[in-house]
Structure 1
């Protein structure tokens, strides 16, 4: 039985993607609240000098960066699964969307949500512009694909899901993106899915 501990907070999309995979792989874990106060402690800094979450501890291994944690969990506990294909082209597709999760998704919908919900010191207008450019591209891709990288769900879908699903909480509307909405529903129908806690919707941008 794995001995897994996850430092996280319930409202973080970065933590949510890791929680989703742990649940979908049926891996038991201990969730430890790591709010801002915890992250400022020296004990936490020894786990992650950047003082960021999530942090996953598996036995004697300490893992940081949510996308890196996703890769580790699949390679460690589900190496022959659909979550991260061995095929070079399919693996490259997964990596492409992991990069989009760390790029356009992080600095678009995620940033807008952080500003609106948590008063994060980020550029809201820039987040709206990035979202307005990225979401039509995502919509076009999903018009002909059920999932992002392959014909089945991969860690790329989990990495992108949380902040796209909660885009309206940042004032970014998903109205007019039916393919994205169908993709979100497909993720939500996967065994082990658990939603992020809902936050109040601000005025929709545009």
Structure 2
């Protein structure tokens, strides 16, 4: 009997949210393994580093003995394995290239906007908050300009296809949570519209700070 997929999870992590949302959309049952990220810093414990992730980061999945870390890598894996329609990770070579490009951008969002949120919300005061916020605004400007160009071509999402992909899911949470790091989206209208569209997708589950949209 195949073991239930395990997700090493922290409810307030935007990166963990990405995986929970993908599992929900794909209809994949899983077992959440809570990790006391804050204040317990369990992800930095000797046991976690030795047995789960030597980098001391979340999320991590264990799929019947196959252990995979990094939120973006996990999204690729889950979509490749469980999405028979290839909606979330399209087969088209150009679309896949675009998705990969925006997955790398998601890492930059984590490095900047997520770090600003850690500083403000969880007391990570050793971080250079000015650098985090300026870096986040720079990457948000790239996203906003791109989404404005997409809209002018009649497209709503980061890749050039008609449907959202794992690229959108990878970039979404720490954009939507930017205010918790002292970063306003007021100057990024296309980005705000994209966040609104994403929150209105069928089956959106949300997390603390990013609630599912109500009826239109």
For normalisation by structure 2, the TM-score amounts to 0.85
Query: What CA deviation, in whole Å up to 9, does each residue of 1:94-148 have, x standing for no partner?
Result: 0000000112x12221111111111223211111111222222211111132111
Please tell me whether residue 112 in structure 1 is matched to residue 116 in structure 2: yes
Counterparts of 1:95 and 1:43 in 2: how far apart (Å)? 29
| Counterpart residue number, 2:164 | 153
Partner in structure 2 of residue 184 of structure 1:
195
Note if 1:30 corresponds to 2:31: yes
| Deviation, structure 1 residue 59 | 1.2
Give 1:198 shift. Answer: 2.3
Q: How many residues are matched?
A: 198
In angstroms, what is the RMSD of aligned CA positions? 1.8
Whole-Å separation in 1 of the counterparts to 2:81 and 2:171: 22
Alignment of 1:32-111 (within 5 A): 32-36=33-37, 37=40, 38-39=42-43, 40-42=45-47, 45-103=50-108, 105-111=109-115
2 CA distance for matches of 1:144 and 1:107?
25
Unpaired runs of 5+ residues, structure 1, are 200-206
CA distance in structure 2 between the aligned counterparts of 1:63 and 1:191, rounded to whole angstroms: 27
TM-superposed deviation, 1:44: 5.7
Larger mean CA deviation between 105-114 and 6-15 belongs to: 105-114
| TM-score using structure 1 length | 0.89
Distance in 2 (alpha carbons) for counterparts of 1:153 and 1:19: 17
Instruction: State how far apart, in whole Å, the 2-side matches of 1:96 and 1:35 are.
Output: 32
Who is 1:141 aligned against? 146
Give, in whole Å, the separation in 2 of the partners of 1:47 and 1:71. Answer: 19
1:20 to 2:31 alignment: no
Deviant stretches of 4+, over 6 Å: none
Q: How many Å apart are 1:80 and its aligned residue?
A: 3.5
Query: SS state of the match for residue 144, structure 1?
Result: helix
Cα distance in 1, alignment partners of residues 78 and 137 from structure 2? 33
Matched, 1:127 2:132: yes
Relative distance call for 1:148 and 1:190 in structure 2 (3 A) is same
